[in-house]
Amino acid sequence: MTITSDKTISTPQLTINGASQTSDETLSVIDPSTGAPFIEVPSASLAQLDEAVEAATTAFATWSATPITERQAKIQEIGQVIRDNIDELALLVMREQGKPLQNARGEIMASLRQVEVFGSIEFAPEVLKDDETGKVVLTYDPIGVVGAITVWNYPFLAAMFKLVPGLVAGNTVIIKPSPYTPLSTLRLGELLQSVLPAGVLQVLAGGDELGRALVEHTGIHKISFTGSVPTGKAIMASAAATLKRVTLELGGNDAGIVLDDADPDVVGADLFWAAFSNSGQVCAALKRLYVPEDKVDVYAAAIAREAAKVVVGPGDQEGVTAGPVQNAAQLAQVKRLAQAAKDGGGEIVFEGEIPDGPGYWFPTTIVKGLSEGNALVDEEPFGPILPILTYRDLDEAIERANSTVYGLGASVWTANPDSTETLAVAERLEAGSVWVNQHPVVTATIPFGGVKQSGIGVEGSILGLRAYTNPRVLNIKR
């Protein structure tokens, strides 16, 4: 039984200067549950990028001077438009990304937290000094035109993570969604044409050439990017030519350390979902699990029990709880790492069922018997596979967890979350976020970002809002 209609999806257009535009070039969008294209969307030309930048520059003069309370009122209107169109938007996310429809709806609902937080956040000037000698006031001025480049695993949420604080801060924003998942963001641009002044928010779909041109454009003043480490490095190098501000939320190979006092029956289900939410396609998912050597089998069994409940299939089928890998290139990566695990002596302790026929399907897979040096451990799989590693000495486990170029998230699992030992382990893990008995937790109210090669800067909270501004000091001598 399907739980969506067979209604044909209308082709969303580019949004440039407050109006819809088509293009001579198109992008094919593939349904990952079939592996076949199901719609063509316009792919913006470089001339259309120039037009969008010009419109954003013109709109910036007025938008940046608009009181923040009025900008926030527009953000609240955006939230209402999303609520009014959530069924359509969820269908688009499901079709382009592959996740179950209820999860697609959940993604859109989660994005509304951006509206709630930044649509009402206090962002007043800060008085640093005020005495008989003088006064010093710190303000945060909008940067200008922001280029936002988003990722394919949470396409709608990623767009909202950037456009909402960017607009509240007083910038104008040009979003380029992933070429794998442009539909829901293009449609959002269309829906907001009646809410926002022309040029304030624009959406341009396109491939790598458009992305490079956006980063290199002299009329773009900041790039906010979510995606892979190699692409983040290329963006940073390119942005150097004009000293653009950058926020880079990149990949991770997050480690979780289970302490000896934890109960497998208590934490097993949470460990599973920490690794396998969104079919493992989460930048800050649990990707390496370290457990005491003498308990590896009981942890493998506890996680496998939860894995056995998962139903993998097309997102519009009732009862499905996990979808496919989103694209062919990522599926090839997951398959390569799974083969490396087998070749390296890894033991498959659980392998789930997948649908017959076409589509980017990979079974929910749990592996033990590996260690560092195997590709599945050392690299980021970004798919539904988890290696369970063992340790004898806790200090050694911490050292191994930190022995990576990544530093996005990490976690500690224990029966005593407030104990001195737990906090000591957490403090030694090298990551932008360290969670205890959970992994990951990313919300609009909490700063989120990585250390080492997992990124620069943060999203979320007042710190994420400030990242869309230039601090300015007014210093008065009396």
- Residue 73: count other Cβ atoms within 10 Å of its Cβ: 12
User: Strands (DSSP E) along 222-381, which ranges?
Assistant: 222-226, 245-249, 254-258, 286-292, 347-351, 365-368
88 is catalytic: no
Q: What is the residue type of 364?
A: T
> Which of 51, 107, 249, 380 is labelled catalytic?
249
Q: What share of the chain is helix, strand, coil (3-state, %, to 5)?
A: 40, 25, 35
Of 191, 121, 185, residue with least CA distance to 148: 185
Contact call for residues 14 and 48 (beta carbons, < 8 A)? yes
Contact call for residues 467 and 457 (beta carbons, < 8 A)? yes
CA distance 337 to 331: 10
Q: Which stretches within 125-263 are classed as H helix?
A: 155-168, 183-191, 208-216, 229-239
Which uninterrupted H or E stretch holds 387? strand 385-391
249 is catalytic: yes
CA distance 30 to 37: 4
Of 256, 326, 252, residue with least CA distance to 283: 252
CA distance 272 to 290: 13
Half-sphere exposure of residue 298: CA atoms within 13 angstroms, side-chain side: 13
Please classify residue 81 by burial: count the beta carbons closer than 10 Å to its beta carbon, then call 0-12 exposed, 13-18 middle and 19+ buried: middle
Distance of CA 230 to the CA centre of its chain: 16
> Which of 51, 96, 107, 283 is labelled catalytic?
283
Distance of CA 312 to the CA centre of its chain: 22
CA distance 36 to 95: 11
Give the residue numbers annotated as catalytic, written as ranges. Answer: 249, 283
